[in-house]
Chains A and B, each alone.
Chain A
């Protein structure tokens, strides 16, 4: 059990995924929700790379991890633009107070 194998990396990934979901559903601030999403994407990446290392897939897992990192960058840029627009409209970014589409 102490010798590190595939299972250890998968357990780390499960922990990161659960903490990310917890951050997404409990934090009020929209930027904190984004940080939770980054944790979730990182846990998926750990899974991809662990299976690329221990499975018989060559380097395809690492390619997928690179694509996920690119998509995370695009997602963070768009989401922050939306958050800044919401701040201009309702002067705060608490997700439980966003209940209108326009002012």
Chain B
């Protein structure tokens, strides 16, 4: 057990346990805050995989943007009388049986496959290389995504104000 392994298990436990609490908690606001811990844990896993730029983007976009948007959605779509905002579940037992089997099957495939893995060396900063790829090989996709995001935001604003 090196330090890397200990940090990995820490982030893995935080991620999976809070993801479990996200989908099982009855209070939506609590679920949103557990989603915060899940996203932090995933960002930590990105750092462990030597993806520093993606980890920071994950923190800024997910934690700073999408999570706040979801909390706004919760607040705008409930008659707020107190902090308790409950929600029910449907088909919980069949869903857990089917998804348990599904996760077992996929997990068995992952564990039994002989993955061809490179010998990884030390990690270097990726930001400069990612920037070069974005404005050279992926320039068209980058611009298209910018236009898509602009259209999506204009459409969302006009839909929500109707």
Which A residues are within 8 Å of any B CB, using their own CB?
A: 2-12, 14-23, 25-32, 34-36, 38-39, 42, 45-46, 49-50, 52-56, 59-60, 62-63, 65-67, 69-78, 80-85, 87, 92-94, 96
Contact = CB atoms under 8 A, between A and B. Distances in A.
Contacts of A4: 4-5, 8-9, 48
A62 B53 contact: yes
B19 A15 contact: yes
A65 to B, nearest CB: 5
B31 to A, nearest CB: 6
A43 B92 CA distance: 22
A64 B66 CA distance: 19
A38 B19 CA distance: 11
B145 A77 contact: no
A53 B107 CA distance: 20
Interface string B124-137: 00100110011000
A45 B35 CA distance: 16
Contact of A49 (B54, B62, B76): B54
A78 B106 contact: no
**Interface of B, helix, strand, loop or mixed by DSSP:** helix
A87 B46 CA distance: 37
Nearest to A28: B88
A26 B89 contact: yes
Interface string B142-162: 000100110011011101101
Interface string B43-82: 0011011110110011001100110011011101100000
A65 B111 contact: no
B12 A8 contact: yes
Given A7-B111, A45-B42, A77 B69 contact: yes
A17 B102 CA distance: 10
A73 B22 CA distance: 19
A63 B110 contact: no
A26 B91 contact: yes
B90 interface: yes
B23 interface: yes
A34 B70 contact: yes
Given A4-B5, A32-B31, A82 B159 contact: yes
B102 to A, nearest CB: 6
A73 B70 CA distance: 11
A46 B106 CA distance: 15
Contact of A42 (B39, B92, B103, B160): B39
